[in-house]
Structure 1
Amino acid sequence: MPAFVLVLNAGSSTLKYQVVDPASGTASVRGAIERIGGPDVRDHAAALDTMQGDLADHGITAAHLVAVGHRVVHGGPRLVAPTVVDDDVLAEIEDLARLAPLHNPPAAAGIRTARDHFPDVPQVAVFDTAYFAGLPAAAATYAVDRELAARESIRRYGAHGISHQYVAGAAADLLGRPVTELDQVVLHLGNGASAAAIRGGRPVDTSMGLTPLEGLVMGTRGGDLDPGVLLHLLRHGGLDVDGLEDLLHHRSGIVGLTGLADFRDLISAVETGDPTARTAYGIYCHRLRKYVGAYLAVLGGADAVVFTAGVGEHSARLRTDALSGLDRLGIVVDDERNRAPSTAARVVSIDASPTAVLVVPTNEELAIARQVAALLT
């Protein structure tokens, strides 16, 4: 019988799940429950009831599971590897909500509920920040009061590490080279977005920081911002701390600039000539190009620039526009390859491009399942 891992990704209003065989890489069951908190799905416990019904319909019971693996965004300074969840670990995940207020609370709710639903199955947390725990001090350290930073555990933690690590390995497979021999710039572009500079399979810099707010322009988050803007809004803009948090998490980025919540809608508006959409798109591409250039400098050049996640995998126009003008840095996209419809991992640069441009679909569920299986064996 295959040793299945049930992988859960719990959000505030959604629960995504897959039953994964880490050995074969196949997912026998996958699904998503939405609108948690509404009249049909009251809470995460009700969501797991619905999920268990779906698993039963596919012949999957607790007896088929070696573990339940949970994606958790922030592990802080201590949780830097896949970890079997006990009461102390769960309490620490909940406490780290101060650094990931949108992500850690629903993850903790999902873990708590899964422990009730699968009391005899190990619960394992896999952390998005863990991949970046070994960042060089020059990249991880903020230039603020040293004693204050140490007391408050202030450093660059990064995020999307599960995806960055998986994609870096898959990119190496695509190129037929060991990941330890490659320098890569990986761009995880979804509603949340981050860049990572990866040398020999290990990250040396990443765009997200203490929290998932720093770095690239995202769906509802603006990324890099002069901290003086926040001081100005506190003193003169009528916003308190809660108002700033709402602004930074929900009313910035593409939504803040245009009111559009879907990147596909942004592209459509750009193509119809909407000036507001064009400005927002230009900001998005400009920030992305800046990070690519910065990370090429950090790495001293790269073997590959890799696009992944929903926007990165599916927007050919973005890949072209974000990398335009980088020919002198050895990056040349092949327009025909780039626009050819495909869902497979592929090269979209010209053969003569010194730096390959790749599109590599991410698979965080498989990555989590494999990390869980490795921990338990």
Structure 2
Amino acid sequence: MNILIINAGSSSIKFQLIRMPLETITCSGLVERIGSDEAVFKFKSDKGTIEEEGSIKTHKVGLKKIADVLLDAEKGVLKNSSEIDVVGHRVVHGGDSFSATVLVTEAVKKEIQEYATLAPLHNPHNLEGISIAEQLFPEAKQIAVFDTAFHQTMPLKARKYAIPYDLYDKHGIQVYGFHGTSHKYVSEKAIAYLNKPASKILSIHLGNGCSITAIVNGKSVDHSLGFAPGNGLIMGSRSGDIDHAVIFHLVHTLGYALQDVNTLLTKKSGMLGLTGFSDLRDIQTAAENGDTACQLALEMNAYRIKKYIGAYTAAMNGLDAVVFTAGVGENSSVLRKLVCADMDFFGITLNHAKNELRASVLREINDVTAKVKVLVIPTNEELEIAKQAFELCG
């Protein structure tokens, strides 16, 4: 079964064509920095690799470019669209409606659209990916895998907000959690590596969107993102945790419209708001060259992560491993070093030489005497989506 995976993030699209159940990757690729004139397109198959830089202003343009390359007579891997049996889509917010993988129907698309107000940087792009895939691969089944599903195991004491009960009971206002596909994948890899099913793990997903999940015995028990993917850690353009009084001050005192506040906190804050840069690589380079705003932003980012490590270690009453994953978590030795500095009280100490090594495999970067394992595990949301899609359709 040929399963094409489309994983649309807030500023990127990752894709893989996977032959199931063998888990053979026919091709893979990435569109990143969408919305800029320096967007990057990467494609890899047995026929070679493609890497291009240029303007890709929207997700729609990126998705069409992916489809064109897949079907290209010279560079592509498909003779025609009918070779795709299933298209698996990552969908960020499924609310209370979806606790498992589903076949996409018009009703499902309508629900995804309704949750777009809670995940404005993601659900619209996820839905756009589904619509375009329906046009390009009309004979394939379209499958949706929801990031919120993994967090259904969180206990009520972690899911509920301290607001009137009716808002939870009648309107579903609660912590839903996100990046669940990634957290599920890397936590399973960590448990297998540790050979410890009864484990206490912190999975730290750091990309343009960021989150940390407390995982006990393979189950999510707490998570930094909430009702929508905007709070918790400092992100690429999202503020993370902020006193809600700031919102009222912006509206009532400074004259902001509510939509402007939403735009400010989701698209103009975070590392972008602190530095003027949207990509962490640019921020690290500027920091190395003495940019004090970028230096402070990195310190703030790490400090926020440290606070969550402390809180979740207390909540779990212990810690066996910390996992860094996703684009920033896997590649930024700078941020990992800042996060793990002065954490020996928790049994976290880095081996700095191992931390600096670059590799696309699971690796241990803690000091040999450390009580807590510090792991870098490349996430593979695409493979996890393929597994779940195959289980549903196979």
Q: Normalized against structure 1, the TM-score is what?
A: 0.92
Out of 25, 29, 41, the residue aligned to residue 23 of structure 2 is: 25
Residue 213 (str. 1) matches residue 230 (str. 2): yes
2:50 is matched with none
2:156 is matched with 137
1:186 is matched with 203
Alpha-carbon deviations, 1:218-260, whole Å to 9, x = none?
A: 1111100000000110101121111011101111111101101
Partner Cα separation in structure 1 for residue 29 and residue 306 of structure 2: 35
Partner Cα separation in structure 1 for residue 62 and residue 286 of structure 2: 36
Residue 242 (str. 1) matches residue 259 (str. 2): yes
1:110 is matched with 129
Deviation of 1:97 after TM superposition, in Å, equals 0.7
Partner Cα separation in structure 1 for residue 366 and residue 11 of structure 2: 39
Residue 50 (str. 1) matches residue 68 (str. 2): yes
**Unaligned regions of 5+ residues in structure 2, if any?**
36-54
The change in CA–CA distance for 1:273 and 1:12 in structure 2 (over 3 A counts) is: closer
2:5 is matched with 7
1:358 is matched with 375
SS in 2 for 1:350: coil
The change in CA–CA distance for 1:132 and 1:60 in structure 2 (over 3 A counts) is: farther
1:290 is matched with 307
Counterpart amino acid of residue 7 in structure 1:
I
2:282 is matched with 265
1:67 is matched with 86
Equivalent pair of 1:149/1:155 in contact (CA under 8 Å): yes
**Unaligned regions of 5+ residues in structure 1, if any?**
none
Please give the residue correspondences for 1:210-359 in structure 2 after superposition, counting only pairs within 5 Å. Answer: 210-359=227-376
1:122 is matched with 141
Identity of aligned pairs, percent? 39
Greater Cα offset, 32-41 or 202-211: 32-41
Equivalent pair of 1:48/1:114 in contact (CA under 8 Å): no
Equivalent pair of 1:139/1:204 in contact (CA under 8 Å): yes
Residue 204 (str. 1) matches residue 204 (str. 2): no
Equivalent pair of 1:48/1:117 in contact (CA under 8 Å): no
Counterpart amino acid of residue 253 in structure 1:
G
Counterpart amino acid of residue 175 in structure 2:
R
Deviation of 1:44 after TM superposition, in Å, equals 7.7
Partner Cα separation in structure 1 for residue 331 and residue 57 of structure 2: 34
Alpha-carbon deviations, 1:143-176, whole Å to 9, x = none?
A: 111112333211101111000000001112333x
Greater Cα offset, 154-163 or 51-60: 51-60
Equivalent pair of 2:14/2:30 in contact (CA under 8 Å): yes
Deviation of 1:15 after TM superposition, in Å, equals 4.7
Alpha-carbon deviations, 1:318-362, whole Å to 9, x = none?
A: 112111111121111111221223222111112221110001011
Equivalent pair of 1:44/1:110 in contact (CA under 8 Å): no
Deviation of 1:32 after TM superposition, in Å, equals 4.4
SS in 2 for 1:238: coil
Deviation of 1:52 after TM superposition, in Å, equals 4.9
1:95 is matched with 114
The change in CA–CA distance for 1:306 and 1:268 in structure 2 (over 3 A counts) is: same
SS in 2 for 1:237: coil
Equivalent pair of 1:84/1:125 in contact (CA under 8 Å): yes
Partner Cα separation in structure 1 for residue 367 and residue 351 of structure 2: 5
Let me know the Cα RMSD of the aligned residues: 2.4
Equivalent pair of 1:33/1:47 in contact (CA under 8 Å): no
Counterpart amino acid of residue 230 in structure 1:
I
The change in CA–CA distance for 1:227 and 1:40 in structure 2 (over 3 A counts) is: closer
2:186 is matched with 167
Deviation of 1:25 after TM superposition, in Å, equals 3.0
1:156 is matched with 175
Equivalent pair of 1:22/1:366 in contact (CA under 8 Å): no
Partner Cα separation in structure 2 for residue 98 and residue 41 of structure 1: 18
Partner Cα separation in structure 2 for residue 341 and residue 173 of structure 1: 22
Equivalent pair of 2:10/2:208 in contact (CA under 8 Å): no
Partner Cα separation in structure 1 for residue 306 and residue 334 of structure 2: 14
